[in-house]
Amino acid sequence: MIGPVAPPRPIELLRASSDQIRRAADLLAEITGETDPRRPVRRGSTRPAPDPADEADRAAEDRTRTILEAQRGFVASLRLEQIEERLGPR
C-alpha cells in the first residue's frame, strides 16, 4: 500500500510559481520583440534594444549638462578674479 504524500511546503510552491512567472515573462518579451518591429531583441537577450531616439535625447542632455557646467565654472572663476581685484594686493 502507498503511504500518504506530504503536502508541499509553501516555500517550494513559491519557488515553483516564481520560476513559472519568470519563464512566462521571458517568453512574452521574446514574442513582443518578434512582433514589434520598433523594438528588436538582441541575440541572447530578451531585453529590447535601446531606442535610437532615446539615445539621441540622452546625448543632447549630456551635452547641455556639460555646457552648463563649463559656463558655471567660467562664471565662478570670473567672480573670483573680481573679488581678488577688489581686495587688492596683500
- Res. 34 pLDDT band, cuts 50 70 90: low
- Of 12-26, 32-46, 51-65, the poorest mean pLDDT is in 32-46
Identify the pLDDT of residue 21.
Answer: 83
Full 3-state SS string of the chain:
CCCCCCCCCHHHHHHHHHHHHHHHHHHHHHHHHHHCCCCCECCCCCCECCCHHHHHHHHHHHHHHHHHHHHHHHHHHHHHHHHHHHHCCC
- The share of the chain scoring above pLDDT 90, in percent, equals 14
Mean pLDDT rounded to a whole number for the chain: 77
Identify the pLDDT of residue 40.
Answer: 55
